[in-house]
C-alpha cells in the first residue's frame, strides 16, 4: 500500500517538480509570496518560466504545495513527545529538536512566518483543524504531567507558544540577532544553552 495519491510521476516529472519546489522555497522565503516572481523561481530551478508553469499550474499552486509538504516536517517533533517519558526531558528534547529545525531549515521557518504574518490565507483551515487537534493532544499530555506534579504549574498552550516563539525567532529574525550580537558569536549554539536553562528553570517543580 504505497502512497498513490499522485498517480505515478515520470522520472523527469519527479526531478523537475523537486527542483521547482526547491527554487521556490528559496524565493518565497527570501521575499514572501508576492515578492517572489516565477522568473526567480525558474532561474533558481534552472528551468524556463513556461516550463515551471508546465509542472505547476500557477504560482499559487507552487506555494500551496510547498506549505502543505513542509507542514509534516515542521510538526514532527511535537508528535515525538512521549507521554511515558520523563516530562522535563521530553519538553527539553522538543525544544532542542525545534531549535535544530530553525538552524537547519531557516527557509522553511521563514516561509511559515510569512504565511502566518499574511493572515495564513492558505493554512487557515489547517491551523484551526489539524494543528489545533495536534496541539490539544500535546496539551493533554502536558496537563497530565502538571496534574501529577511532575512539571511546574504553567499554562500548557502558552508553553507551546513560547517554545515556538523562542526557537523560530532565531531563524526568522536571524539578521537582527546577528547584527545585535556582532561578529564572533554562534547564535544557535548559545540559544541551545540559554533555552535549555530557561525551560529547565521554569518547568522544574
**Binding interface with its own copies (CB under 8 A):** 30-35, 110, 113-114, 116-120, 124, 127-128, 131-132, 135, 152, 154-155, 157-162, 164-166, 168-170, 172-173, 175-177, 179-182, 190-191, 193-195, 197-198, 201-202
Looking at beta carbons only, is 24 or 195 nearer to DNA? 24
Q: How many residues bind DNA (CB under 7 A)?
A: 20
- What does the alpha-carbon distance between residue 172 and residue 111 come to, in Å, rounded to a whole number? 9
Which residues between 81 and 140 bind DNA (CB under 7 A)?
Answer: none
Q: What angle do CA 16, 17, 19 make, to 5 degrees?
A: 60
Residue 54 binds DNA (CB under 7 A):
yes
Three-state secondary-structure class, residue 151: coil
**Which one of DNA, its own copies, none interacts with residue 39, CB within 5 to 8 A by kind?**
DNA
- For the bound state, the minimum distance from the C-beta of residue 174 to DNA, rounded and expressed in Å, comes to 24
Strand locations in the chain, DSSP E? none
Q: Which residues of 101-134 are buried (b: 16+ CB within 10 A; e: fewer)?
A: bbbebbbbbbbbbbbeeeeeebbeeeeeeebeee
Residues 170 and 188 sit within 8 Å (Cβ to Cβ): yes
Residue 48 binds DNA (CB under 7 A):
yes
> Which residues contribute to the site for DNA (CB under 7 A)?
10-13, 16, 36-39, 47-51, 53-54, 57-60
Amino acid at each position: 500500500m504505497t502512497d498513490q495519491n499522485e498517480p505515478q510521476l515520470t522520472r523527469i516529472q519527479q526531478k523537475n517538480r523537486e527542483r521547482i519546489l526547491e527554487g521556490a522555497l528559496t524565493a518565497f522565503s527570501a521575499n514572501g509570496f508576492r515578492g517572489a516572481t516565477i522568473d526567480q523561481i525558474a532561474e533558481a530551478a534552472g528551468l524556463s518560466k513556461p516550463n515551471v508553469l508546465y509542472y505547476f499550474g500557477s504560482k499559487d499552486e507552487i506555494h500551496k504545495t510547498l506549505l502543505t509538504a513542509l507542514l509534516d516536517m515542521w510538526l514532527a517533533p511535537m508528535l515525538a513527545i512521549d507521554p511515558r517519558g520523563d516530562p522535563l526531558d521530553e519538553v527539553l528534547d522538543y525544544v532542542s529538536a525545534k531549535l535544530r529545525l530553525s538552524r537547519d531549515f531557516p527557509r522553511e521557518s521563514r516561509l511559515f512566518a510569512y504565511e502566518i504574518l499574511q493572515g495564513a490565507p492558505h493554512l487557515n483551515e489547517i491551523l484551526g483543524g489539524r494543528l489545533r487537534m495536534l496541539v490539544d493532544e500535546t496539551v493533554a499530555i502536558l496537563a497530565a504531567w502538571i496534574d501529577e506534579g511532575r512539571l511546574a504549574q504553567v499554562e500548557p498552550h502558552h508553553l507551546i507558544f513560547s517554545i515556538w516563539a523562542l526557537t523560530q525567532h532565531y531563524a526568522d529574525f536571524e539578521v537582527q540577532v546577528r547584527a545585535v550580537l556582532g561578529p564572533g558569536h554562534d547564535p544557535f549554539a548559545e540559544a541551545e544553552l540559554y533555552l535549555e536553562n530557561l525551560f529547565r528553570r521554569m518547568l522544574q517543580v
